[in-house]
C-alpha cells in the first residue's frame, strides 16, 4: 500500500489491479482508514484519469451485490444530485415522477459536509425505514412504482465506507471521486436511465461550469459504457434552494411543494428535472409535454398521494405527513436580523450550510448525531429588499450554545446593494 500511495502521490496512473487491491483491502479491513485517507488526499491533489475513474467505478460497483430490475415493467429512472444546501428535490421528484407512471428506484445517502442527505431528511419522518434487502427494494418498486433506500451491507459496500471517510477528511471535492461514487451506486441499483443534477456555486462541491461539464461528461461516458442513458443538468447553487435548510424543515417544504405551495425556485427545478425523467421513461415526447403532466399531477393531488404511499410502504407515520407540526422541532430558536438596508445581492450558500451544521442539522464527524429539528428558515433571499433590523432568517437548535458559532457564519453570508440585482438563471446548462 505504501508503494501505491507513493505512486499516486507522484502523479502516476494506477492500473485496475492496483486500484482493486486498494478498494478490496479497505472493504475487507486489511488496509486501515489512515492509509485510505492518504490515498484519497493524493487523488485530490494529483487527480485520476478517465480510465482510472472508470476502473474505480466498476470495482466499487462490483464490491457487493447488484440489483436486477429487469422484472419490473417500464423504463426505470433514477435521479441524483451532487449535493447542495436546501436541496430536497428527491423528496418531491421521486413521488412526482412515480405518479406519472415511471418506476423510480432511488438509493440515497446521508449528508456530506455542509450538504444535506436525503436519507437524513427522510429519517425525520417517524418510523420511516430506508434500510431494506435488495429483494424488498425490488418488490416495493413492483408494488408501488417507487422505493427509496440507503445502502445495505451487500450493496456497493466499498463506496459506503469511502463515502463516510471522504466526509470527514476534506476529500469530497474531487471529480473522479464524486463521479465514481455516484455512478457505482446508480449502476448497482439497476436503473435504465439516470438524471444527474450537478450543482455549481458557493454551496456546491463544484465551483465552475467548466468543472461541472467535465463531471457531466465523465458520468455520461461511464453510463454509456454500461448501456445506461445519462442526462446531466447543471444548476446554480450560490444561494440555498428553497427557504429551508435542515431535515424536518426540508420535509415540510417538500410536502408544501407537492401540494403546489412550494417556493418558485424549488418548484421550477423539480419540474425541469422531472421532465427529463419522464422523457427518458418514455411517458412524454418532449420536455414541454412532460412538465405539463407533472403540473397536473401536483394540482390534482396525485403527487402528494404517491408521497404518502411511499412513506406508508416504508413504515413512516402518515399522521406526521398530514400534520407537519408533528415533525421534529427544537427547544430553542433565534431570529437573525439584518444590520443593513438594501437589496440582498449575495446569500452565500456555503456559509448557510455550515451554519446549519453548527446548529446540529449536519455532521462534523462520522459519529455526530443529527438533530432532525435543527436548521434554518430563510425569510429573505437574493433580490429581496430589507430594512435594518428586519428578520432575515430563523435559526433552530436544541442546544442554545450552538447559536453563537452559527451566527458568526450568518454574519459572513449576506451582501447588500442599493440597486436590485439582476436575476440569475437557475438552470445553467443541460448535457446529453
Report, as residue numbers or ranges, the catalytic residues.
80, 159, 166, 181, 185
Degrees, nearest 5: CA angle 325-328-330: 100
136 φ/ψ angles, rounded to the nearest 5 degrees? -65, -40
Strand partners, 186: none
User: In whole angstroms, what is the distance from residue 266 CA to residue 249 CA?
Assistant: 14
The helix/strand/coil state of 2 is helix
CB 140 within 8 A of CB 313: yes
DSSP class per residue in 331-344: SEEEEEE-SS-EEE
Three cell numbers at 335? 431570529
User: In whole angstroms, what is the distance from residue 108 CA to residue 127 CA?
Assistant: 17
Three cell numbers at 379? 425569510
User: In whole angstroms, what is the distance from residue 328 CA to residue 129 CA?
Assistant: 16
Give the β-pairing of 77-81 and 193-200.
Answer: parallel
User: In whole angstroms, what is the distance from residue 19 CA to residue 183 CA?
Assistant: 17
Please give the C-alpha separations between residue 332 and each of 126, 145, 371, 394, 400, in angstroms, as whole numbers.
21, 40, 12, 10, 6
Reported as half-sphere exposure (CB side, CA atoms, 13 A), residue 396 has a value of: 21
Secondary structure letter of residue 241 according to DSSP: S
User: In whole angstroms, what is the distance from residue 119 CA to residue 111 CA?
Assistant: 8
CA dihedral (53, 55, 61, 67) positive or negative: positive
User: In whole angstroms, what is the distance from residue 109 CA to residue 287 CA?
Assistant: 28
Three cell numbers at 119? 436519507
Q: How many helices (H) and strands (E) are present in the chain, helices listed first?
A: 17, 13
Give the DSSP H or E segment for 268: helix 264-280
Name the residue with cell 471535492.
173
Residues in the chain: 432
Amino acid at each position: 500500500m505504501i508503494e501505491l500511495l507513493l505512486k499516486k502521490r507522484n502523479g502516476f496512473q494506477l492500473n485496475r489491479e492496483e486500484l482493486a487491491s486498494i478498494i478490496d483491502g479497505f472493504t475487507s479491513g486489511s488496509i486501515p482508514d489512515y492509509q485510505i485517507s492518504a490515498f484519497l488526499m493524493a487523488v485530490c491533489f494529483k487527480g485520476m484519469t478517465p480510465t482510472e475513474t472508470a476502473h474505480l467505478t466498476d470495482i466499487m460497483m462490483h464490491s457487493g451485490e447488484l440489483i436486477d430490475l429487469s422484472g419490473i415493467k417500464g423504463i426505470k429512472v433514477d435521479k441524483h444530485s451532487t449535493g447542495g444546501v436546501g436541496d430536497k428535490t428527491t423528496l418531491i421528484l421521486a413521488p412526482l415522477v412515480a405518479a406519472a407512471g415511471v418506476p423510480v428506484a432511488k438509493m440515497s445517502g446521508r449528508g456530506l459536509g455542509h450538504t444535506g442527505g436525503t436519507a437524513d431528511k427522510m429519517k425525520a419522518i417517524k418510523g420511516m425505514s430506508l434500510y431494506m434487502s435488495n429483494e424488498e427494494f425490488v418488490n416495493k418498486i413492483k408494488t408501488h412504482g417507487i422505493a427509496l433506500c440507503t445502502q445495505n451491507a451487500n450493496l456497493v459496500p466499498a463506496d459506503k465506507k469511502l463515502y463516510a471517510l471522504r466526509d470527514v477528511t476534506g476529500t469530497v471535492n474531487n471529480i473522479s471521486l464524486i463521479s465514481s461514487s455516484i455512478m457505482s451506486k446508480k449502476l448497482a441499483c439497476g436503473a435504465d436511465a439516470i438524471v444527474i443534477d450537478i450543482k455549481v456555486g458557493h454551496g456546491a462541491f463544484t465551483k465552475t461550469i467548466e468543472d461541472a461539464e467535465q463531471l457531466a461528461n465523465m458520468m455520461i461516458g461511464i453510463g454509456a459504457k454500461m448501456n445506461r442513458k445519462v442526462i446531466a443538468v447543471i444548476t446554480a447553487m450560490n444561494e440555498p434552494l428553497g427557504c429551508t435548510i435542515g431535515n424536518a424543515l426540508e420535509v415540510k417544504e417538500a410536502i408544501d411543494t407537492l401540494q403546489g405551495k412550494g417556493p418558485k425556485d424549488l418548484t421550477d427545478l423539480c419540474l425541469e428535472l422531472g421532465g427529463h425523467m419522464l422523457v427518458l421513461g418514455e411517458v412524454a415526447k418532449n420536455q414541454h409535454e412532460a412538465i405539463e403532466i407533472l403540473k397536473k399531477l401536483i394540482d390534482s393531488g396525485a403527487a402528494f398521494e404517491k408521497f404518502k404511499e411511499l412513506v406508508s410502504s416504508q413504515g413512516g407515520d402518515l399522521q406526521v405527513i398530514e400534520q407537519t407540526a408533528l415533525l421534529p422541532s427544537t427547544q430553542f430558536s433565534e431570529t437573525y436580523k439584518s444590520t443593513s438596508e438594501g437589496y440582498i445581492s449575495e446569500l452565500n450558500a456555503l456559509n448557510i450550510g455550515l451554519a446549519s451544521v453548527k446548529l446540529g442539522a449536519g455532521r462534523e464527524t462520522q459519529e455526530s448525531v443529527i438533530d432532525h429539528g435543527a436548521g434554518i428558515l430563510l425569510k429573505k433571499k437574493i433580490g429581496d429588499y430589507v430594512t435594518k433590523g428586519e428578520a432575515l432568517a430563523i435559526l433552530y437548535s436544541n442546544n442554545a450554545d450552538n447559536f453563537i458559532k452559527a451566527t458568526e457564519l450568518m454574519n459572513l453570508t449576506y451582501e447588500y446593494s442599493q440597486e436590485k440585482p439582476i436575476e440569475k438563471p437557475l438552470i445553467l446548462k443541460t448535457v446529453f
